[in-house]
Amino acid sequence: MAGNPFDLTGRTAMVTGANTGIGQGIAVALAKAGANVALVGRSAASETQALVEAEGRRAVQISADLSSTAPVGDVVAQALEALGRIDILVNNAGIIRREDALDFSEEDWDVVVDTNMKVLFFLTQAVGRHMVEWSSQSGSRGKIINIASMLTFQGGIRVPSYTASKSGVGGLTKLLANEWATKGINVNAIAPGYIATNNTAALQADENRARQIIERIPEGRWGDPADIGGAAVFLASKAADYVQGHILAVDGGWLAR
């Protein structure tokens, strides 16, 4: 729609971890707003592809295990070959490991920090190089959206590598905004509250914990991946051109409590 600052028609997005949960919700929301989407992940994203195509948009699946930086160059090359350019990058793929800090293993530290923070940075670097060049040619702005967490702001418990990685994602979001704002790129993050996905399946299944969580959320319910999709469309759009280095909590009021 001409003049609608939220319209993403003609834009191309890359979403990591888009086969399920929040990534799927974001990919579908971006498609509803008009974007074509590259779906990057280690599991087939056929359901998400069908949902994006049902909106009349293009979807391409790119298979990659994002626990190491090895596939980064290839992922970006495949997306550029399939869609021509990348206007929007959503760094969503992430994992969590739970254990007491006294017993936490180095393996559970490395895999979480590598997936949630190290690979996020180097994928963003690779896409950022493309965005800087494309923006200088076309004048259109690139949009990077990192998926942070409540544990970007809070300490959490029994999740040391997750808290460290998501706090790091918050810091990197601000650093990259500082470096790239004048280079035609907006870098922001979304901090989801408690969203009903595989990531929180254990919490949802624990009746006592699930009740405590809902009682503490002013909105009185778990979030849905579509709740995060709406925030992603805003940050990906022209409407957010002057939003930089912001970590947008989408948490039903959890942090306000």
For ligand NAP, the binding residues (CB under 6 A) are 17, 19-23, 41-43, 65-67, 92-95, 115, 147, 149, 192, 194-195, 197-200
- Give the C-alpha separation, 183 to 84, whole Å: 20
**Residue 86 or 169 with smaller CB distance to ligand NAP:** 169
Active site residue 242: no
* Cβ 89 to ligand NAP shortest distance, Å: 14
Rank residues 195 and 233 by Cβ distance to ligand NAP and give the closer one: 195
How remote is the C-alpha of 189 from its chain's centroid? 8
Nearer to ligand NAP, 85 or 118 (CB): 118
Report the SS3 class of residue 91.
strand
Give the nearest distance from C-beta 123 to ligand NAP in angstroms.
Answer: 11
Rounded to whole angstroms, how far apart are CA atoms 38 and 233? 15
The edge-to-edge listing of strands for the beta sheet with 247-250 is 59-63, 36-41, 12-16, 88-91, 142-147, 185-192, 247-250
Instruction: Give the position of tokens 């992603």.
Output: 232
CB of 241 to ligand NAP, least distance (A): 25
Q: What is the DSSP letter of 84?
A: S
Pick the closer one to ligand NAP by CB: 184 or 192: 192
What is residue 147's three-state secondary structure? strand
Q: How far is the CB of 122 from ligand NAP (least distance, A)?
A: 13
Q: Catalytic one among 121, 162, 222, 234? A: 162
Find the shortest distance in angstroms from Cβ 242 to ligand NAP: 25
For tokens 């949902």, the residue is 51
- Tell me, rounded to whole angstroms, the distance of Cα 57 from its chain centroid: 20
Q: Closer to ligand NAP at the Cβ: 174 or 238?
A: 174
State phi, psi for 187 to the nearest 5 degrees.
-120, 120
Residue with tokens 């707003």: 33
Contact between 152 and 250 under an 8 Å Cβ cutoff? The reply is: no
Catalytic residues: 162
